[in-house]
Amino acid sequence: MSATGETPLQLLDPEGKLAGKAPGIPPEDLRRLLRHMLKMRVLDQRMLSLQRQGRIGFYGTATGQEAAVTGSAYAWRDTDWVFPALREMGVSLWRGTTLQQIVCQLIGNAGDVLIGRQMPCHFSDRAVRTVAWSSVIGTQLPHAMGAAYAAKLLKDGNLTVGYLGDGATSAGDFHAAANFAGVWRLPVVFFCQNNQWAISVPLAQQTASASIAVKAEGYGFPGVRVDGNDVLAVVAASRAAAERARRGEGPTLIEAVTFRMGGHSSSDDPSRYRDPALVTEWERRDPIQRFRAHLAATGVLGKDDEARWTQEINDEISAAIQAAEALPPPPIESLFRDVFKDLPPHIVEQMRYAIAMGDVT
């Protein structure tokens, strides 16, 4: 396993050839991993197109980061709790969230599990143990740490995962969470997708550290660097961190070195601050292309599999969009739920008035 300041752990080279011992993954799961990475990319393309058409308000892509998202999601148990940042919607998708639920959340309609209360693309779902997050950077990390403390007290064998970007390591919440997690030896994995950019700020202008992973040393637990575009390496590093946490040995910080191929969000124009040559360079390290080459060379991927999957995924997304756009807004009474166990009379009066006014309009 790569230590904090070393070359990231790599098991597949950019051409898809094995560069180390692959983790034990059944062939059918290897196919699932590639299909899911492809699903994430196609979904990004379709949802960004919807945003440009004005049919949803906001979207943040994970294009180029599919291996980091998918490989880590594969390593967690269904009973573990996930505390995401912006580019981990694919984790929920892996754990059972449907495409229609995602589109409904982006619209904020009656089918949205969050009842229209969150910004688009700020997905969470109790059913897949994914906790709500905020655009305020790093706030999910103390929550992940606190939930890990609860897991330690319960002794239920579960862990928590706090996802973050490289920019979050400059936020105070990261350091507070890491400090408590280290002192209490909590079962938490801090998984950093180092995509080289905190919106428009490059990594070199954000930290003088040799790496992100090295920051863990100050809090008394290991930091691991991994090639974030190598799904096999991500699986291996994530599994090792999860096993360590479940043995009661405490947290791990994983730095998945990857690259944000698009803008920070649909509101961003990266051409204003980023050299196109840098994007071209990282295109040669594309995680889907790398994994596809490996599976094809080992006979796990058939000649027509990817084309068939792409068509299936596009059909699934089209059906999800059609179903989601047919749904009405959240009911007016949902504005008054989930604050009081029993609504006080003056709130009941306001709710009835709001419903009546809604019926009139």
294 is catalytic: no
87 is catalytic: no
Check: CB of residue 222 under 8 Å from CB of residue 253. Answer: yes
Using CA atoms, how far apart are residues 230 and 256, in angstroms rounded to an integer?
Answer: 9
Element (H, E) at 224: strand 223-227
Check: CB of residue 343 under 8 Å from CB of residue 125. Answer: no
Catalytic residue among 95, 244, 264, 285: 264
Nearest to 76 by CA among 190, 288, 235: 235
Catalytic residue among 52, 117, 273, 308: 273
Catalytic residue among 122, 143, 260, 292: 260
260 is catalytic: yes
Nearest to 203 by CA among 260, 160, 147, 140: 260
271-302 CB burial, b ≥16 within 10 A, e <16: eeebeeeebeebeebbbbebbbbbbbeeebbe
Using CA atoms, how far apart are residues 160 and 186, in angstroms rounded to an integer?
Answer: 9
Report the catalytic residues.
Answer: 260, 264, 273
